[in-house]
Amino acid sequence: MSLAILMSASAPAYEPRINYMLQCQGCHGPDGRGEPGRVPSIRTTLAPLSRFAAGRRYLLQVPGVALSALSDQDLAALLNWMIPALGGAKPRQFRAYTAAEVARYRREPLVEIGATRARLMRQLQLRQ
């Protein structure tokens, strides 16, 4: 199935907490801890990655986000819920995602996911 067809099919709109359960929880778990060595924890990396441009782009280009059937608006709302709820950031500690930002970056899904994540994790360590 082509990316255009996948992107045109939209999922029903639910509140962000429900969208997390339906779209993300299967891999990242109910609390976002993931599975060590297989699925990254979003608890420790989601908020820090959302604080700089390359990290924000990465979060929108990982396959689970980029290829989601959720609308750009619903994806923005989901990330804006996840960052404080699972990533521990207070709402004033991060810049909220917009539907326009989601639309701009999700159209280019990552191919080199592991290498990109490793590079960003090194950048995060340098920022601390």
Map out the domains of the chain as residue ranges.
3-127
CATH of 3-127, one of 2.60.40.10, 1.10.760.10, 3.40.47.10, 1.10.1750.10: 1.10.760.10
Nearest-angstrom CA–CA distance, 43 and 40: 9
110: Cβ contacts below 8 Å, ≥ 6 apart: 58, 61, 62, 63, 66, 116
Tens-level pLDDT at each residue, the chain (128 residues): 444 444 445 666 689 999 999 999 999 999 999 999 899 999 989 999 999 999 999 999 999 999 999 999 999 999 999 999 998 888 778 899 999 999 999 998 898 999 999 999 999 988 76
In this structure, are residues 4 and 64 in contact, taking their beta carbons and an 8 Å threshold?
no
